[in-house]
């Protein structure tokens, strides 16, 4: 019952963009919320082996799959927990938060959590530009600005587009 991106070629490009936006310092903590089977977090953990990545996903089957994949791939700097992205137990301030929510976007609880944790970067992957826009306004009200955005045609010949947006915390906010 786990969700997985089916267009692997474009998904790899999207993961590359996310890693470019992330660019964490050594020892950084990165939260991957709504992580599904953990592919994005694992791509980041593999690219940045001195970074700690924690994936959070509400679907326990996806978490089982993510743990098995990370173990079989030998990626030791990522862990996964099953739970609501807006109610995580880990409260250490992360360098960055990556989110890939369902079509309805982020919950208000998750937005409050992100603003409370105040990471330097929020990387938002969205399959619904209209909900991304609403969530972007809430993040902007909390002191974040859009620094970059990349669109990806994950589903050719359809009206759907994936957007990867980098939000950065504004100084003094």
User: What residues are labeled active site?
Assistant: 127
C-alpha 162/C-alpha 173 separation (Å) is 29
C-alpha 4/C-alpha 107 separation (Å) is 21
C-alpha 43/C-alpha 39 separation (Å) is 6
Closest CA to 149 of 131, 136, 134: 136
- Contact criterion met (CB below 8 Å) for 98 and 31: yes
- Contact criterion met (CB below 8 Å) for 99 and 33: yes
**Residue in the structure block whose two tokens are 């807006």:** 86
3-state secondary structure of 23: coil
């Amino acid at each position: 019952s786990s969700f997985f991106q089916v267009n692997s070629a474009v998904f790899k490009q999207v993961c590359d963009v996310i890693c470019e936006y992330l660019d964490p310092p050594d020892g950084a903590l990165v939260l991957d919320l709504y992580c599904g089977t953990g592919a994005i977090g694992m791509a980041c953990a593999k690219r940045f082996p001195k970074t700690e990545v924690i994936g959070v996903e509400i679907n326990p089957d996806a978490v089982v799959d993510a743990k098995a994949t990370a173990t079989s791939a030998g990626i030791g700097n990522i862990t996964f927990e099953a739970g609501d992205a807006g109610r995580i137990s880990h409260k250490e301030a992360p360098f960055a938060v990556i989110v890939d929510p369902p079509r309805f976007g982020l919950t208000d609880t998750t937005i409050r959590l992100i603003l409370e944790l105040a990471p330097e970067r929020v990387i938002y992957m969205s399959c619904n530009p209209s909900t991304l826009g609403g969530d972007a306004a809430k993040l902007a009200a909390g002191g974040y600005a859009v620094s970059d955005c990349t669109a990806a045609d994950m589903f050719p010949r359809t009206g759907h587009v994936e957007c990867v947006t980098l939000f950065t915390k504004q100084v003094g906010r």
